Amino acid sequence: MHGGGPEITNYMQRLGMPIEFYQGLRVTDAAAMEIVKMVLVGKVNKELVSAINQHGRLAVGIAGDDGNLIKAKQLDERLGRVGEITCIDTTVVENLIEDGFIPVIATVAAGDDGGSYNINADLVAGEIASALGAEKVIFLTDVDGLYADFADKESLISALSLGEAERMVADDALSTGMIPKVGACIHALRAGVPRAHILNGITPHALLLEVYTDAGVGTMITHTGSLGLPDDDMYIAYEDEVTL
């Protein structure tokens, strides 16, 4: 799943369109939605597919409104065509995976009104991971992970529990950019995904280093956290999933 915020902003600036954010989400009127769809589906998606397919016949690009993969309704009138996910139908994704392809998904959703909605890519990733029953969900960004104090680069949090992550959200302890990512991690874990990772996608071999080394290079959020013990309030809800 991918977004394309910087590319969208760049094109809107070139066209002299107003750029506005509300609670970390892009205000998307009808004109802006055309740009969002053009950039996400027609540009960023195809560039990612082409990059992957340099290594073989591997990837297929789709948008969230293909096969009604993602259905949405308006999240808030103040945000315009920004959507809240109402339904995930993974049929098209499962068919591509079964045929040996990597689905590359632009996070544009289909609305019941026949229009399209702009959806935060982090939220989509969490929802689709849950719907697919994924073993883990990985968020690639341009910082190394979650920090106890962002100004202190030595304070990177290597692992934390679902409960700790929820407390950070409740205490407003996250930067604006991390709010949707951590929120998506929480949602995915609540829906049964065993673990979520936040990594710096610019770091060479970040996925291999995170998944196949003990220390990792980013932040991992699980039901058990860094101590290997489940949160008290998580144990009952996730007793079947937690390995003791």
Residues in the chain: 244
Evaluate if residue 1 carries a pLDDT over 90: yes
Evaluate if residue 36 carries a pLDDT over 90: yes
Mean pLDDT rounded to a whole number for the chain? 88
The helix/strand/coil state of 99 is: coil
Q: Which residue is it, tokens 């991971």?
A: 129
pLDDT band at 173 (very low <50, low <70, confident <90, very high): confident
Contacts of 17 (CB under 8 A, 6+ apart): 31, 32, 35
Q: What was the pLDDT predicted at 235?
A: 31
pLDDT band at 152 (very low <50, low <70, confident <90, very high): confident
Element (H, E) at 212: helix 206-212
26, 73 Cβ separation under 8 angstroms: no
184, 139 Cβ separation under 8 angstroms: yes
Predicted TM-score (pTM) of the model is 0.83
Evaluate if residue 14 carries a pLDDT over 80: yes
